[in-house]
Amino acid sequence: MPQIARLESRALISVTGADWANFLQGLVTQDVETLKAGQLRFGGLLTPQGRLLYDMFILGEADGCRLDVAAEHRPAVIQRLMIYRLRARVMIAVDDTPVMAAWSATAGLEGRPDPRLPELGLRIYGTQANPNADEAAYDTHRLALGVPGPADWGSDRTYPIEANFDLLNGIDFKKGCFVGQETTSRMKRRGQIKSRMAPVTLDRPAETPDTEILAGSLRAGKVTSQIGDRAMALLRLDRIGGDLTLGQAGVKVDLPPWLRSSTDFGLQTFATKGL
């Protein structure tokens, strides 16, 4: 039986008009000029310095697209798009269609495959499915797969490659220029990445409100979100080979197959440290 949850934390923006594709193409990390109606892609909107402002799913429509963004950031995303619009023939509007996610035994359901990872299931836009789970269950499923979410990267504090956007189909490096492209491409080209988000498991409940993970006395990273004994952490790749702690709890880096198999940007460090 599929698990279906309404994602109250997500909201939609409609982008239409003759220039919609050209307008977004120069802004977001994903290629929208080749986006077909019904196709879903994952991407982000960055600062000019290359930090991640807002994540988004981009759903192709016959006359434009819909952006699936964090509900709390929807007004800010619209405002930023309006700033960039200038004279482009683009209409930007709120869309109150519900956003849902379905996972586990999704055959026969009407939805779009999550472009980040097949195991994440489907994104559903509309009311054609009846929820039987809550968003917390979906977040538990996502975290079990080692996929970070908006709580982990926040806004204007993380580079998209640190949040694994490059490994989760969130950046098209062949599309040409976009806001923040120079920094992002340089990190990709030169391998200048010191930290990555990765899931970790705690051997006991953390007995401290601190989020810092230590390798001995050295800072090895920080917890960005947590559900039970499973957490997402932004880790320094050069300090994860020894014993890690969070307060009195031991920390084990617990890589999923999709992350373990990657050798991009120093992720081979995980393998060479025997993790």
pLDDT in tens, the chain (275 residues): 899 999 999 999 999 999 999 999 999 999 999 999 999 999 999 999 999 999 999 999 999 999 999 999 999 999 999 999 999 999 999 999 999 999 998 888 999 999 999 999 999 999 989 999 999 999 999 999 999 999 999 999 999 999 999 999 999 999 989 999 999 999 888 776 789 999 999 998 775 566 899 999 999 999 999 999 999 999 998 888 889 999 889 999 988 888 886 644 344 444 444 44
| Alpha-helical runs (H) found in the chain | 20-25, 74-85, 135-144, 150-153, 181-190, 257-260, 268-272
36 and 145 belong to one structural domain: yes
- Check whether residue 268 and residue 210 sit in a common domain: yes
Residue ranges making up the domain that contains 138: 3-153
Does 265 fall in a domain?
A: yes
pLDDT value at position 43?
A: 98
Identify whether 30 is part of a domain. yes
Residue 239 lies in a domain: yes
Does residue 226 form part of some domain? Answer: yes
- The per-residue pLDDT for 269 is 46
Question: Both 111 and 15 in a single domain?
Answer: yes
CATH number, domain at 141? 3.30.1360.120
Residue 162 within a domain: no
Helix (H) or strand (E) holding 77: helix 74-85
Give the domain CATH number at 236.
2.40.30
* Gyration radius of the chain's alpha carbons: 19
H or E element, residue 76: helix 74-85
Specify whether 119 is located in the same domain as 214: no
- Gap between the Cα atoms of 147 and 75, Å rounded: 25
* Other Cβ atoms closer than 10 A to 53: 21
Query: Residues 136, 200: one domain?
Result: no
**38 within domain boundaries:** yes
Asked whether 16 and 158 are in contact (CB, 8 A), the reply is no
* pLDDT tens readout for residues 176-226: 899 999 999 998 887 767 899 999 999 987 755 668 999 999 999 999 999
- Domain identity same for 250 and 144: no
Report how many domains make up the chain. Answer: 2
DSSP 72: G
Burial of 108 (0-12, 13-18, 19+ CB in 10 A): exposed
Query: What's the pLDDT score for residue 239?
Result: 87
Query: Is the residue at 159 inside a domain?
Result: no
Q: Last residue of a domain, which of 153, 186, 214?
A: 153
Nearest alpha-carbon partner for 52 in 183, 169, 168: 183
- Is 188 within a domain? no
C-alpha 58/C-alpha 23 separation (Å) is 14
**Residue 135 is encoded by which pair of tokens?**
């968003």
Helix (H) or strand (E) holding 139: helix 135-144
